[in-house]
Amino acid sequence: MTLAERMMPALRCLDPETAHSLALMALSWGLAPPVAETPRPILKTRVWGLGFVNPVGLAAGFDKDGRVPRAVLGLGFGFTEVGSVTPKPQPGNPKPRLFRLTEDRAVINRMGFNNGGHDAMATRLAKFRAGPMGQGIAGVNLGRNKDSSDEVRDYVLGVERLGALASYLVVNVSSPNTPGLRTLQDRGPLTALLTAVKAARDGLANRPPLLVKIAPDLASADLEDIAAVAADVGIDGIIATNTTITRPAGLRDQQKGQIGGLSGAPLKTMAKDVISDLYQLVDRDIPLIGVGGIASGADAYARIRAGASLVQVYSALVFEGPYLAARITAELADLLERDGFKSVAAAVGADHR
């Protein structure tokens, strides 16, 4: 057992945000040694022309400032996503703002895009790209400043400042913790935003794939609009989903009444349903990343069969420890082989066939 794994019981006794900061420090200090196992060939997949050693990534929110992408990839993740990052540094919402719902295997956060801004992120990503594992897949999740008077410009600035360092870019319009952000998911504002951001992306020499991240709290008509906008504008992918502002029945933990976005196990069914619906709406033309409540190989496999080309985890790390991705990928490979699939891509959308 590594020192990072031995630290887990103690971290769970601390305030969640303090524990998160210590986890980042542990990774930056090399206290969680890289996974030694060679990736199993069946897990390799190709999306947007990028070669993934496996389809399991770390979702945005853990490494907000791009401090530990190399260490994250060493834990067995096929890719990582840093951010959300805003043009100017901002402190986020007042503390406490992160809550661990142990009884429900869930987390509530109202962080508010706390981050060090574009320049600090660019410095760290440039260092990552120049070092070991610098060719690893690291996406950048873009947000807007809370006090911004031109939200579209904030996202365009993110593309211009960080696009050259990003394996892919994500337009985050679904965090519930920045006032007014989710209104950008409406058809008119979303079309205007994505059109401007895509134009900025198209001006880059490397032209990284452009994705949008959406909320789980959307009606069927909203999903139809998002699928139509994605196709009309010509973006490359959709991440579904962010946290939910609803509180599913059956939550038991005393922290369940906290304000903020809920993630983890209670989100699993809702997030899977969104992937399933989107997959049928985009006619397989726009790859999807499934996130929300994934904590096992079976969860990842179910999301892939529902239509996700890739999956992401985050909240489950709080309860399962740093080597969760290695366990998920091993279980996923077994399930793919059990059912006769030769690759991850062959299983995508299998439930709809």
175 phi, psi to nearest 5 deg: -70, 135
Catalytic positions are 175
Q: Map the chain to HEC letters.
A: CCHHHHHHHHHCCCCHHHHHHHHHHHHHCCCCCCCCCCCCHHHCEEECCEEECCCEEECCCCCCCCCCHHHHHHCCCCEEEEEEECCCCECCCCCCCEEEEHHHCEEEECCCCCECHHHHHHHHHHHHHHCCCCCCCEEEEECCCCCCCCHHHHHHHHHHHHHHHCCCEEEECCCCCCCCHHHHHCHHHHHHHHHHHHHHHHCCCCCCCEEEEECCCCCHHHHHHHHHHHHHHCCCEEEECCCECCCCCCCCCHHHHCCCEEEEHHHHHHHHHHHHHHHHHCCCCCCEEEECCCCCHHHHHHHHHHCCCEEEECHHHHHHCCCHHHHHHHHHHHHHHHCCCCCHHHHCCHHHC
Residue 34 has a CB neighbour count (10 Å cut-off) of 13
